[in-house]
Structure 1
Amino acid sequence: MDKTIMYWENKGKLVPTRELIKTPEQIEGIRKAGVVNTAVLDAVAKEIKAGMNTLEIDQICRKVCEDAGAIPACLNYEGFPMSVCTSINEVVCHGIPKEEDVLEEGDIINVDFTTILDGYYADASRMFIIGKTTPEKEQLVRVAKECLEIGMEAAKPYGFVGDIGHAIEKHCKKYGYGIVRDLAGHGVGLKFHEEPDVEHYGHCGTGMLLVPGMVFTIEPMINMGTWKVFIDADDPYGWEVITEDELPSAQWEHTLVMTEHGVEILTY
């Protein structure tokens, strides 16, 4: 492995530092955090419905997480006031749970949760369709999930981060959707956010070299219209990201570990 890393470094490529390559013990710790994270999202899947408010979703997530002896990473992270991000329709990400945000028939919502267990982090999100929605929203949710799957398939040992973004962008463009450029996937495991940034657009052969032992997220944010976004001026915390044209957005996310054979999902 070291020789391959040195080869690409000598070619002028960005390569991971030793700290970004997790040990088997660290990967196992992240995997255990992933089990809790999956249980949290499974609990939401069982309960989520029209008429529920997003504060209730936060309460479910926090209880399942803390009952497992874990900590919600979002809670009080850089001023974020809740345990989970709940992003409805045109809210791309970082939606703050509120009692007044009541889910309605036809809404689509992203629920994004990160677990800390024994100092290890796992991060994942899922889309939920509330009741019956429009064919346009159904397609957006499906294509966003396909983009995650295609990105995972493109992530190869000793490939590059740019290979992931290139594959996602190619698929997304078939539908005329916008890929958010202001936010990205990221390294994760020992901290909430580590290197590398995993952009969901770009060119093959660019970005950081992907090496077995690296742990990172892929989390494409796919907009029905423009890729451009803004921060909601009415959000007192300065977190909620909204599509510029206020058309819907969808996102799916997994925490992944690179192996000698490709990525393994740690947040199933």
Structure 2
Amino acid sequence: MAFRKPKPVPFRSDAELDAMAAAGAIVGAALVAVRDAAKAGVSTLDLDEVAETVIREAGAVPSFKGYHGFPGSICASVNDVVVHGIPRDDVVLAEHDLVSIDCGAIYDGWHGDSAWTFGVGELSGDDHDLNEATREAMEAGIAAMVDGGRLTDISHAIEMETRAAEEKYGREFGIVSGYGGHGIGTAMHMDPFLPNEGRGNRGPLLVVGSTLAIEPMLTLGTTETTVLDDDWTVITDDGSRASHWEHTVAVTKDGPRILTTRPE
């Protein structure tokens, strides 16, 4: 019986990866500017204006703004909001909030997409552990982004690192159900969908030049979520806090390349 070789995750040339990295660097700069501005008393709409200014002054366009009607240049998701929080002037940050900022930019036709979760001031022990576990899960997924691997090798790495973090931090974390990473390039969301858990060695092949947005989302409780009446905001069903980390990453012959680098 003949077995058909799996198709590859869509791939780019070196020059195209450099173009994506230029878009990604603008996203990284916007995220750093937003984090610097994220103080108690500042609204998430204020943060949105910071990000949009950085993106437009760099000659890029915010990829989120107007995307299926989304009104902001960032998704600003605070505490029990997992993803897709709409920037608002009545959502005002307070000390110890856990803030996730997801940001995208289009530069010269190419997309960068990245998310960063951080605290306003000091985080509680549980929130700190959740945020570290999510970052570590993302980094494990990135490390699995190698030539000759399969798409779900990344999924499996994220899941296994989450379980390792449970041992490390002595508590359970929920892997948010139904959400995950995605292909990216000349559009923000492209095939394939990348689950954040599952068995490895399945799905499309990873080849040199393949690009994906890797983005685990973990909670301090449930895996289940609800979309609010604004048709965007995703909250945890039990009110537990959530963390979301994301980088746009490429496979290279020398290993994974993060395309959404942040300035020091």
TM-score, length of structure 2 as denominator length: 0.93
| 1:36 alignment partner, one of 26, 51, 54 | 26
- The CA deviation string for residues 120-158 of structure 1, in whole angstroms up to 9 with x for no partner, is 100001111011221000100111000011111122211
1:222 is matched with 218
1:241 aligns with 2:234: yes
2:50 is matched with 60
2:124 is matched with 134
**AA matched with 2:205:** L
Taking the TM superposition and a 5 Å limit, the aligned residue runs for 1:201-212 are 201-212=197-208
Number of equivalences = 254
1:47 is matched with 37
**2:11/2:208 contact within 8 Å kept:** yes
- The CA deviation string for residues 246-268 of structure 1, in whole angstroms up to 9 with x for no partner, is 10010111011111232100111
Taking the TM superposition and a 5 Å limit, the aligned residue runs for 1:246-261 are 246-261=239-254
2:179 is matched with 183
Taking the TM superposition and a 5 Å limit, the aligned residue runs for 1:1-268 are 11-12=3-4, 14-16=6-8, 20-174=10-164, 175=166, 176-233=172-229, 235=230, 238-268=231-261
**Aligned-CA RMSD value:** 1.3
Q: 1: CA distance between counterparts of 2:91 and 2:4?
A: 49
Q: 2: CA distance between counterparts of 1:192 and 1:200?
A: 18
Q: Kindly tell me: are residues 13 and 248 of structure 1, through their superposed partners in 2, closer, same or farther at Cα, counting changes over 3 Å? A: farther
Of 67-76 and 147-156, the range deviating more from structure 2: 147-156
Secondary structure of the equivalent of 1:146? helix
Secondary structure of the equivalent of 1:267? coil
**CA apart distance, 1:194:** 1.1
1:3 is matched with none
Mark the runs of 5 or more structure 2 residues left unpaired by the alignment.
Answer: 167-171
Q: 2: CA distance between counterparts of 1:23 and 1:261?
A: 15
Mark the runs of 5 or more structure 1 residues left unpaired by the alignment.
Answer: 1-9
**2:145/2:250 contact within 8 Å kept:** no
**CA apart distance, 1:173:** 2.6
- Residue identity (%): 36
**AA matched with 1:224:** L
Q: 2: CA distance between counterparts of 1:39 and 1:47?
A: 12
1:7 is matched with none
Secondary structure of the equivalent of 1:101? coil
Q: 1: CA distance between counterparts of 2:242 and 2:210?
A: 28
TM-score, length of structure 1 as denominator length: 0.91
Secondary structure of the equivalent of 1:217? strand
Detail structure 1 runs of 4+ shifted over 4 Å in the superposition: none
Q: 2: CA distance between counterparts of 1:132 and 1:43?
A: 19
**CA apart distance, 1:13:** 5.2
**CA apart distance, 1:81:** 0.8
Q: 1: CA distance between counterparts of 2:3 and 2:234?
A: 38
Secondary structure of the equivalent of 1:227? coil
**1:70/1:117 contact within 8 Å kept:** yes
Q: 1: CA distance between counterparts of 2:247 and 2:123?
A: 25
